[in-house]
Structure 1
Amino acid sequence: MNIVQIDAEFFKHDAQAGGFFPNTHTNLILDIEKFITPTGQNYIVEGIRGTGKTHILKMINNRCLEKYDKLKILPVYISLAGVSEWIERDMVSFRLHLYNNIVKSTIDTVKKNRSSIELSGNKDLVKSIKKIGQMFGFNKEENFDELLEEIRNLSETLTKNLTYSLKEQLIKELREETDIIEGTMQSSVVNVKGSVQAKNGLNTELKFLGSNLAHEDAATFILEFFRELRNILGNSYSYILIDECSEVSKEAQIEVFRLLKLVRGSGGEDIEINPVYFCATAYPTPITYYPSKTKGDSFNFEMGHDAVVEYLDLDELDDEYLDFFKEMTNKRLNEFKKEDTASSYMEIFENERVFVLSAYLANGNIRRYIEILKHSYDNLAKRVKIDDTSSKQAISQKDVQEAVYSIVNDQILSFNRLNEQDMELLHDIISKLSKRNKKTETENKSKINKIPANVYFTISRLQANTYGNLIMQGALHDKGRTRRRKYYTEGGVRGLLYMLDLSVAFNESAIDRQRAVEIFSKDLKANAKSGYLYCQDVEIK
């Protein structure tokens, strides 16, 4: 077919499933380096699906290892995306999964990068190696590398027992063990080494490690592990990178935030830098459950106090918005450059307006942008095959429109994600904005100073949680998280600023499709500069 050539790898966008390409990263708008500081800082990176949260964590992981010789920051990446339903609902099982994976990831990182990760050589080195050995049931091991191998093998055995046929037996025995007084439990097994079998058939060391990781105070065990590890490696600190915190049950989320709370307080009064910090990714509330004593939890996890919050959302009004998508597109094209494939964003679009339309319809969602290009490219291939044209064709505005139609209906407004109430709320918002915008378009024909089209609206704070599913799906956007300007409802009372998604607005004709590019690039900025003078009030009845 006579169309612009794009390698299929270009369209891979899931960083959890083989779609992580560090060479395509662009630091425009959100700089990775801000997360990597010599003195350490705790972060929560919030964002809906497709905004690049996993990519950010994996970039942090890469940069820490690339600069390890200089910064001495040990990254420990784990993801909760693959936790099975039965594990996340049983706290003994979940703690085993969470803390065992932290241990495995830590050891794997050290072993894989051992050539650049040296031992501290301080006087307490052997003492700390022995201490870690004792924590995992190995009382006589003094060689650090051999100890890592022993712990890694034990940890892997624990994973297999938890995942496969012995899981019921393992959980049963660990429940019994965690009921025993902690001191008695440790004294009975700490000096046992080798393959001695417990009476019920489990290796005693395995049972010991499992008991420590399944215990309600397992987070403290992990922090002690990182304290001793810091003494062994002489590193600045370890950096726990926990991905997809919101993908597990409420109870499991509470356990994760308990760990993060303890990490935050892991330093002492005489320690300038904690032995460990965290950067965790999560969905916005109410999808993510942040523990609170007012809700009956035993502790508070306070955003802004226990962690710096970064809301991952490329704002469509940012001066570098289009530059970001241009740079990212060019980097991806060149990452997968082959003979006769495109190397510039201008080669894959009919003209600049088609690119601008595609970028704004993504509404800051990187995954959606790539999805738009994938669907548009498929539409282009079908169209050219039918037309059998002789000239080389690129993605047209019609291709983009058809792509957005599919994405809005099949993904954003998916019936398995949104309930009837969500649909009714969205329909009401679309109707109000559409009616007002059509009136504005008519009035503007006779005006010199034209009124900008509007996709913004304000709601009462009491109604914010009602819009949670629509925000998670990307049908609406919480602009109060990214905007600095003041915004007011009619009458001067301040409200929460929300926005109808640009793809939804375009697809549902809430704005004039013919003027879409002008609206996205001019009208939205004009509205913002006015202090959202044309913003609409929405009230749930």
Structure 2
Amino acid sequence: MFNVHDEGIKNTIEKLSNIIRAENIDNSNYVELYAGEEINKINNIKNQIIYGRRGTGKTHLLKALQETLVESFDKEAYLPIYIDLRKLLPLISDSENNPTYYAVIMFKYIIQEIIDSIIENISFICKLNEWEEKVFVGKIRTEVTELLKDLNYEFNGYSIKKIGDIQLSEEETKRLSGSLKLSLNPEGSLDAKKQSHKTVTSQETKYISFAEISNIVSKLPLKFHITRVFCLLDEWSEIPINVQPYLAELLKRGFITSKYTFKIAAITTRAKVGFKTENKYLGMEDGGDVFGFPLDNRYVFEINKQTTRDFFNELLYKHLSDISDEIKIEFRGDKLNRAKNNFINLYFANQALREILIASAGIPRDFINLFINAYDKFLLNNSGNKRIGVKDIRMATIDWYETDKKEEVDSNIYAKKLLEKIVNEIIIKKKKTHFLIPEKYSNEPHLQKLIDLRVVHLRKKGYSHKGVSGVSFNVYSVDYGCYTVLNIHQPKLDTDLISQIDIIDNFREIRRVALGDDFFNEFLLEVGEGFNCPFCNKPVNTNHLAYQKQGLCNNCFERLSNAS
């Protein structure tokens, strides 16, 4: 008989925290631990951007795809190269951080990583035994070295004229174009020399020939009979957002006509791979050069209860059974089939399961952390209950907010102010968790920050109802772990108030729970990002492009004399 109080179960759940982050999973376990069908949906030759907030499983998905491609290499000859872009970020001060300069450096580092990975895995790619490796690696190194000489030539020169009209000094260029090393033990090519020094700029200008670079990099797979190279770029959003379109443009020019596929993992609110100029589209164009693949909102309980439950059931079973041989033994044969359907119910009472699926907001990492914390509360309560209850879930969400989210929210003053206003209006006054905001406010920067911090969740786009014709809304929910820690009317809201809050699991009940113009205008005035227009007397949003670019009121579009 399965017993959640069992010491073996306790020990298993204690170890679960070791594999919350994909970086801590053993190299051979990514596919085995992955829940859902997303691997199949990105296992193709299209360039894709995998969008998702932190904790949605972007890194795990890339690693699982890498493992899948390696396992099928003999059949398809698709070589996956995983690159964590955080380790390639150059050391450039703000004064030197023009986007094209930064992008060229990143572009060169990515090429370096690709070359290093191919050389490091020569034996695997070419299926060489130890004797063949000694005989043939020297020949392969010689051939690749010739290619690198051509590639280095394209990066060398006294200065480089890049996408725009920005020139680099001679000293900067020397540091930028340090040799692309060829090594069986890959190492960074520039090390601490990534920082630049100011010198006089030479008059001689050399253009990077992307036709030549593309020609050179396209020869690399052919040398090793590789059908296609999959470049799995993780942590794209760590690159400054003003640099991202320029790097995307470089990747497009250098690789898009060759046998390379790019899978890019990026945080939804901190990614920008292109923009339209007067003459062309700079970067990668969504739907043409690259295709978006969103992880956010794939498993939202309010939208699809059964799919969400099944996903987290599979996630929990795979992670716990990977740790515990006892669980594998307990659930096998017919029991295994039942476990695939009902494993999660062994841990949660029905109402508690509903609440953790809502509280997790479709984010696997949040679900696992809430599960660990709720189980700990369950044991501490020592109530004799057989399964985790609602009270355990609610206390776990409070702790999870305190440890994972509160500090970042507190450090963003205006975002915190907006969250306090939302909680006061939605939670305190209306006793709801879900609400509507007109779609025109979807790019409001402080709202976007709250979504990025996972304290406000975007549940559904393009929602409309008969009460307000002609207006499209988005549906949001408040992370209820934050109800008790914001200083609204008292330091902490008591659990009686939490029990009064209507944690809905459908959208029919929110038609009258909306935050509109009055709410956001008041917020802009409170935080000093708005002032009353002398013409229409409505608050001017100083973040609006009409005001920033042309000095116009974003309501009546009259020109304002006090515009910056």
TM-score, structure 1 as length reference: 0.69
Q: 1:333 aligns with which of 307, 320, 323?
A: 320
Q: Which residue of 1 aligns with 2:20?
A: 13
Shift of 1:469: 0.9
Does residue 53 of the first structure (1) align with residue 33 of the second (2)?
A: no
RMSD: 4.3
Give me the whole-angstrom Cα distance separating, in 2, the residues matched to 1:49 and 1:469.
Answer: 12
For the structure 1 residues 459 and 392, does the alpha-carbon distance in structure 2 shift closer, same or farther, using more than 3 Å as the test? closer
Task: Tell me, yes or no, if the aligned pair for 1:45 and 1:281 is still in contact at 8 Å.
Answer: yes
Number of the residue aligned with 2:135: none
CA contact (8 A) 2:401 2:481 kept: yes
**What residue number does 2:38 align with?**
31
SS of 2:286's equivalent?
Answer: coil
**CA offset digits 1:344-367 (Å, max 9, x no partner):** 645862534333322221110111
Q: In the TM superposition, what whole-angstrom CA distance separates every residue of 1:302-359 from its partner, at most 9, and x where no partner exists?
A: 3233211111122222240011001110111111114589976458625343333222
Q: Deviations over 1:28-73 (max 9, x none)?
A: 3x43112123xx2110111110001111111111111112233332
The corresponding residue for 1:72 is 77
Alignment-derived partner of residue 373 in structure 1: 371
Matches within 5 A, 1:272-283: 274-283=258-267
Residue in 1 aligned with 2:360?
Answer: 362
Aligned to 2:394: 401
Residue 115 of structure 2 corresponds to residue 103 of structure 1:
yes
The verdict on how the C-alpha distance between 1:383 and 1:454 changes in structure 2, with shifts beyond 3 A counting, is: closer
Where does 1:38-437 land on structure 2 (aligned, <5 Å)? 40-83=45-88, 86=91, 91=102, 93-115=105-127, 132-137=144-149, 152-153=182-183, 156=186, 159=188, 162-163=190-191, 217=208, 223-250=214-241, 252-262=243-253, 266-267=256-257, 274-285=258-269, 287-294=270-277, 299-313=282-296, 314-316=299-301, 317-318=303-304, 319-339=306-326, 345-346=343-344, 349-384=347-382, 395-415=388-408, 418-434=411-427, 437=430
In 2, Cα distance between the equivalents of 1:491 and 1:276? 48
Q: Aligned partners of 1:460 and 1:220: how far apart in 2?
A: 42
Q: Given the superposition, is the C-alpha separation of residues 85 and 129 from structure 1 closer, same or farther in structure 2, using an over 3 Å criterion? A: closer
The equivalent position to 1:538 in structure 2, one of 505, 508, 516, is 516
Deviation track 1:419-462 (CA, whole Å, cap 9, x = no partner) reads 22111211222222235644xxxxxxxxxxxxxx6603123525
Measured in 2, the distance between the counterparts of 1:475 and 1:297 equals 38
2:440 paired residue number: 461
Residues in 1 aligned to 2:118 and 2:90: alpha-carbon distance in whole angstroms: 25
Structure 2 equivalent of residue 524 of structure 1: 505
Residue number in structure 2 paired with 1:477: 457
Letter of the 2:308 partner, please give it.
Y
Normalising by structure 2, we get a TM-score of: 0.66
Shift of 1:109: 4.4
Aligned partners of 2:80 and 2:230 also within 8 Å? yes
Q: In structure 2, do the counterparts of structure 1 residues 56 and 219 end up closer, same or farther at CA, with 3 Å as the change threshold?
A: farther
Amino acid of the structure 1 residue aligned with 2:39: I
User: Residue 99 of structure 1 contacts residue 219 of structure 1 at CA under 8 Å; is this kept in 2?
Assistant: no
Count of residue correspondences: 444
Does structure 2 conserve the Cα–Cα contact (< 8 Å) formed by 1:54 and 1:243? yes
| Unpaired segments ≥5 residues, structure 1 | 118-126, 140-149, 183-215, 268-273, 439-452
Quote the Cα distance in structure 1 between the aligned partners of 2:211 and 2:23.
29
